[in-house]
Structure formats: structure tokens, C-alpha cells
Amino acid sequence: MSQEIKKNVVGKVKTSNIIYPIIIGFGVIGYMVYAEFNPKAFAAISFTASSAFWLTLALVLMAFRDIGYMIRIRLLADNHISWRQAFRIVMLWEFTSAVTPSAVGGTSIAILFVHKEGLSIGKSSAIVMATSFLDELYFLVAAPIVFLIFGRMELFNVQGSSSLVQSLYTIALVGYFIKLAYTLVLSYGLFYNPKGLKWLIVNIFSIRYLRKWRYSMTKVASEIVMSSKNLRSRPASFWIKTFGATCFSWTSRYLVVNALLLAFFTMHDQLLIFARQMVMWIMMLVTPTPGGSGFAEYLFTVFLGDLIPVAADLQKGLSVAFAFIWRLISYYPYLIIGALIVPRWIRHKFHFRKQPHHHSPHI
């Protein structure tokens, strides 16, 4: 089993898996620059001491995002892992997310990352399942709030044809209800009837057309059963702390774009920028590319381009440049850090005995 899991992890860090998102992301940015390049757009911005402050803050917010994750993992592990171990888990997990499509779950690999830092499989399962539950809960609570504040018209009042806007709205709606359904099923399994959920999953994925996913879904169901007892016994204060760390982490992630735009402009739509990013992240759930490469950059130009306070004919060109800077700060570092950490981590954490060679006796 360890050999099989190791092979799975190594498969995630093949050079091609790191190269693909870079090629896709740079390709989409390159095409958009080619289609929208306008030298006048760059004349509209200037770098000042204020720019340096806000760009530094954007980097600090990225660090806050990871610190929030580390705090949460330590809370979930009852502080049985060190800050260094928590950092390693977060970087490994972020790297895995960066090289796999958002819709593809990485729970088994995430459980392995936690388990190999010295926790039992059951405890590791509980940590990963609780993390997943808390992340989804953040979206399920925050998305309706921003929708009530702004409404569909302001959230989706973006450049493009009415059919494009309608398509984007539909994708966001589908993404939200996928999250809602997943969270309801996960909550039912974790807090109410884990064995009943496992039975249901095994039977659903025994259907002929779903059978190829049966093995992986059965593993997920087993992980929910293992996690249930650990999580059901937790007091309310535990969930308040861990959800607080989740909110801190995700809010820091969103505020990176606010800081990025404040580096060059006086912005008046801070909450709307934040709200539209939330819509973008929900939509990225259904993208098939690793880490949302290409689609994320495109969504940035569509959802945030019209909020850049320059002449309308300059917005598109500038939004492409800012989409690239945003991904340089918030996405590509995890590819690089992961590529450095993961091979060393695998060598350190997996020790396999070499099979002895049996030599035939000479006659």
C-alpha cells in the first residue's frame, strides 16, 4: 500500500504536471496580451513608494493565508504537530492543489501528508475532512451574504455579451450548489450517520456507469467513517476557533487583489472587488485545468477589469497585466516551493527495504 501511495504522490510531481499549468497560464496571458495590448494602458500607471507598500502587503497577505492554514491544522491536530510540520503540510497540500483540477479531490494524498508527520490514519482523516468541511462552510456562508449585499446585477455587471454573462452566472450557480450538496453529504456522514453514508456511496458507485469511481469513492467513505467519532466529540469552542482560522485564511487570500490594485490606483469598490473574487473562486471549482490555469486569468480580466479606474478602452489591457501579477504572487510560488519540497519529503518519509537478491548456487 505504501508503495502504491508513493507512486501516486510521485505521479503528481512529474515535471509535466508542473509544466502544464505554467504553459496553460502563460499561454492564455500571452494570447490576451497579443489581443489587447495597448501601450497607453501602461502609461496610466506609475510606481511610487505607495506602490511598494501595497505590493509588500499583498505578499504579507499571502503569508497570512498560509499562517491561517497552519493555525487551523495545529488546532485540528491538538497541537501534536510543530509549526514546521504544519508549514510542510500546507506547502505540500497547496502544491497538490496547484497541479490538479479543482474538481479533482486530493483527500487521500492530503491524508498521507498529515499521517507521515506522525499522526494516525484516523486522526489524519479527521483533520483533512474537517478542513474540507470548514472551507466549504466559509463559501456557503459568505457567498449568500455578498449576493444579498450586491445582488446579481452588480456582481455580474461585467464586460461581455448577455449570453456570456448568463453563462458565467450559470457556472457560478452550479459551482455553489455542488459545494452545497457536497457539504450536506459530508456533514451527514461526519456528524450523523457515517456507516449509512458509506453504504449509500458503495451502492451508488456499484452502478454500471459509475463503477470506475467506486474504489476512490469507497476510500473517501471509509475516511469519513474514521473521522466521524473524532469530530463529533469536539466542543463548540473548537469549531469556532477552527472556523475563525479558516475565515482569516480565505479573507487574506481575497484581499491580495485589493492590495494589488491599491498599489497603483485609488480604489472605491473594495467590497465589490472582494465579492467578485468569491464568485470567481466558486466558478473555478468546475474548471478542468490544473489549479484553474488559464481560466483563472481569464475570469480575472472579466470580473475585475471594469473596476480598474481608467478609461474603458484601457481596462482590458491593464486587467491582463494585473491578472499575470496576481497569479505570480498567489499561484506560481506554490509550484516552485512544491517542486523543491516534495521530492525531498518523499525520500525522507518513505523507506523501503531493498529486496535481497537470491543468487543461484554454482554447480
Residue 362's pLDDT band, with cuts at 50, 70 and 90, is very low
Which helix H or strand E contains 280, and what residues bound it? Answer: helix 270-284
φ, ψ (nearest 5 deg) of residue 285: -60, -35
Model's pTM, two decimal places? Answer: 0.85
pLDDT tens digits for 197-219?
Answer: 888 888 888 887 777 778 777 87
Nine-digit cell at 113?
A: 501528508
pLDDT tens digits for 95-108?
Answer: 888 887 765 555 66
pLDDT tens digits for 216-268?
Answer: 778 778 888 888 888 888 999 999 999 999 999 999 999 999 999 999 988 88
Burial 28-50 (b: 16+ CB within 10 A, else e): bbeebeeebeeeebeebbeeeee
The type of residue at 88 is R
Over the chain, what is the mean pLDDT? 84
Residue with more model confidence, 329 or 314: 329
With the C-alpha atoms ordered 236, 238, 241, 247, is the resulting torsion angle positive or negative? negative
pLDDT tens digits for 268-281?
Answer: 889 999 999 999 98
CA distance 314 to 297: 17
Specify the range with the lowest mean pLDDT, choosing from 125-129, 156-160, 260-264, 301-305: 156-160
Nine-digit cell at 97?
A: 492543489
Planar angle of CA 248, 65, 69, nearest 5 degrees: 80
Question: So where are the chain's domains?
Answer: 2-349
Which helix H or strand E contains 169, and what residues bound it? Answer: helix 162-191
φ, ψ (nearest 5 deg) of residue 279: -60, -45
